């Protein structure tokens, strides 16, 4: 558990401009390593050790550029490839055996492909390894939600929404949260074990600034990146803003839980091209499911 004096105080984790302004992701593996997209240059996946040592982990193929990253119950990585309308899968066991970057790159495959996507952006994953992808059309300020099942089959769940962006499964697996950056809404849906959604309802609407990625802790609170404001809003399952964490950067893009106890938050920050970090009391949902 964290001590009170350490909580909700952000600090720099990686150097400014160590990533491009397209820095996103992020996600932690079972060893505590953090991964985020566009380290040093576009098309890459960067790996940052718990001590802060950074390196290129993967180079994505055929013009692919990553956005959201998630891990499944087997420890494999999934990447939203927005330029080629894919969800990519990375065989992490093969990566662990690899001795070169080229060998690791060979562990990348297309898991789900859908040409009718605008662009798979952020992704969420259930305890049953069902993937959900937000799909914004930035130019026209609308978006969609897609599901990718355990066989890589892609299904459209909803279309003609606002600009869908952050997406997350609740701690009890019964709710799917999706936010709309331009419209500043966070929506909640009932989520079935099969990955169907229903009973759409508004959880929260912010009066200003945008939103990007979101993650849940084990108590069901949402941690929401406030693009342009430079804060992380902690939101209760009832839609109450409990607190906000001030960051050095303004354009925060996404957040993940990690560290030895799952209580370290890592935030990707576009305008500084780096990652910031802070501590919280309770671990993240995905960390408890897949990384501990």
- Taking CA 85 as the corner, what is the angle to CA 82 and CA 91, rounded to the nearest 5 degrees? 85
pLDDT at 6: 87
**Active site includes 212?**
yes
pLDDT at 290: 85
pLDDT truncated to tens, each residue of the chain (292 aa)?
Answer: 444 448 999 999 999 999 999 999 999 999 999 999 999 999 999 999 998 999 999 999 989 999 999 999 999 999 999 999 999 999 999 999 999 999 999 999 999 999 999 999 999 999 999 999 999 999 999 999 999 999 999 999 999 999 999 999 999 999 999 999 999 999 999 999 999 999 999 999 999 999 999 999 999 999 999 999 999 999 999 999 999 999 999 999 999 999 999 999 999 999 999 999 999 999 999 999 887 6
Question: Domain holding 258: CATH number?
Answer: 2.120.10.30
Strand partners, 275: 268
Distance of alpha carbon 242 from alpha carbon 236, whole angstroms: 7
pLDDT at 1: 40
- Catalytic residue, chosen from 72, 81, 135, 212, is 212
Count Cβ atoms within 10 A of the Cβ of residue 68 and give its class: 0-12 exposed, 13-18 middle, 19 or more buried. Answer: buried
Distance of alpha carbon 282 from alpha carbon 171, whole angstroms: 12
Contact 129, 73 (CB under 8 A): yes
Give the domain extent around 79.
4-291
Task: Give how many domains the chain has, as a whole number.
Answer: 1
pLDDT at 292: 67
pLDDT at 158: 97
Q: For tokens 């593996």, what's the residue?
A: 29
């Amino acid at each position: 558990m964290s001590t009170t004096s350490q909580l909700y105080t952000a600090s720099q984790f990686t150097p400014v401009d160590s990533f491009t302004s397209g820095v996103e992701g992020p996600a932690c593996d079972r060893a505590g390593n953090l991964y985020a997209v566009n380290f040093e240059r576009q098309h890459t996946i960067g790996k940052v050790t718990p001590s802060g040592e950074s390196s290129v982990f993967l180079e994505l193929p055929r013009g692919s550029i990553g956005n959201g990253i998630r891990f499944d119950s087997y420890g494999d990585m999934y990447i939203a490839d927005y330029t080629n309308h894919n969800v990519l899968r990375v065989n992490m066991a093969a990566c662990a055996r690899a001795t070169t970057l080229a060998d690791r790159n060979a562990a990348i495959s297309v898991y789900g492909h859908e040409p009718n996507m605008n662009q798979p952006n952020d992704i969420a994953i259930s305890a049953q390894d069902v993937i959900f992808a937000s799909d914004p059309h930035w130019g026209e300020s609308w978006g969609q939600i897609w599901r990718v099942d355990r066989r890589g089959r892609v299904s459209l769940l909803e279309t003609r929404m606002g600009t869908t962006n952050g997406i997350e499964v609740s701690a009890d697996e019964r709710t799917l949260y999706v936010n709309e950056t331009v419209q500043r809404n966070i929506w909640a849906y009932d989520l079935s074990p099969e990955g169907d959604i229903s009973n759409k309802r508004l959880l929260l609407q912010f009066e200003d600034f945008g939103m990007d990625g979101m993650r849940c802790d084990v108590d069901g609170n949402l941690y929401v990146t406030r693009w342009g404001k430079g804060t992380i809003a902690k939101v209760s399952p009832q839609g109450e803003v409990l607190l906000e964490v001030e960051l050095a950067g303004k354009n925060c893009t996404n957040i993940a839980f990690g560290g030895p106890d799952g209580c370290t938050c890592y935030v990707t920050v576009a305008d500084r091209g780096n990652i910031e970090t802070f501590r919280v009391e309770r671990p993240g949902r995905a960390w408890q499911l897949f990384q501990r």
